[in-house]
């Protein structure tokens, strides 16, 4: 009986230590909560050619990051789309700015950078989200690898979307 009680106490102490370490680890990670407007001059994403305005409204309460995208395409009405990322790696379904297809992704923290990876039918995507030291700029880098449309040549691509915090 005494050994069982000691075992339970050791397990509880171990769990408390792990929980406090996990809380400390997130203290160094940026909180992307806020309203972010695209900075065209600093961005090179090809999809932005067809967009007049792009704003992200982000709310982050670990491990859930909600991103509401306000997208105003040229000669179109403004539309919104919402994405939910789970930063603990459990997985989610996300979509591109254009189109309605949903792709399974996994999102985790790598240091103070948020990394989301997802394969599509023909390519592999990796998005990295990082914040400037002053917390005023958000950069989302998209790296694309894999064989698009079964071509013999594989040409990796990379582009940036840079946002300025406005609220």
ω before 63 within 30° of 0 (cis)?
yes
Q: What is the DSSP letter of 6?
A: H
**What number of residues does the chain have?**
167
pTM value is 0.80
Q: Are 147 and 31 in contact (CB under 8 A)?
A: no
Q: Report the distance separating Cα 63 and Cα 82, nearest Å.
A: 16
Comparing CA positions, the residue from 161, 121, 156 lying closest to residue 141 is: 161
Q: Report the distance separating Cα 151 and Cα 80, nearest Å.
A: 34
Fold of 27-165: Lipocalin (2.40.128)
Q: Report the distance separating Cα 162 and Cα 130, nearest Å.
A: 10
Would you write out the chain's pLDDT as a tens digit for each of its 167 residues?
Answer: 544 444 443 343 443 344 333 333 367 899 999 999 999 999 999 989 999 999 999 999 999 999 999 999 998 999 999 999 999 999 999 999 888 899 999 999 999 999 999 998 889 999 999 999 999 999 999 999 987 555 555 678 999 999 999 99
Report, in this order, helix, strand and coil percent for the chain, each rounded to 5.
20, 45, 30
> DSSP letter string over 64-118?
EEEEEEEEEETTS--EEEEEEEETBTT-EEE--SSS---EEEEEEEETTEEEEEE
Q: Where are the domains of the chain?
A: 27-165
């Amino acid at each position: 009986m005494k050994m069982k009680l000691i075992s339970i106490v050791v397990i509880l102490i171990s769990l408390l230590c792990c929980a406090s370490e996990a809380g400390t680890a997130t203290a160094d990670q940026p909180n992307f909560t806020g309203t972010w407007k695209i900075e065209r001059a600093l961005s090179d994403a090809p999809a932005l050619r067809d967009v007049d305005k792009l704003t992200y409204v982000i709310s982050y309460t670990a491990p859930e990051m909600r991103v509401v995208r306000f997208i105003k395409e040229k000669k179109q009405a403004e539309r919104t789309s919402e994405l939910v990322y789970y930063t603990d790696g459990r997985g989610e379904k996300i979509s591109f700015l254009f189109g309605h297809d949903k792709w399974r992704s996994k999102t985790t923290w790598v240091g103070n950078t948020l990394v989301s990876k997802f394969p599509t039918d023909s390519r592999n995507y990796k998005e990295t989200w990082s914040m400037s030291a002053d917390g005023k700029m958000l950069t989302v880098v998209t790296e694309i690898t894999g064989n698009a449309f079964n071509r013999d040549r594989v040409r990796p691509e990379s582009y940036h979307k840079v946002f300025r915090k406005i609220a």
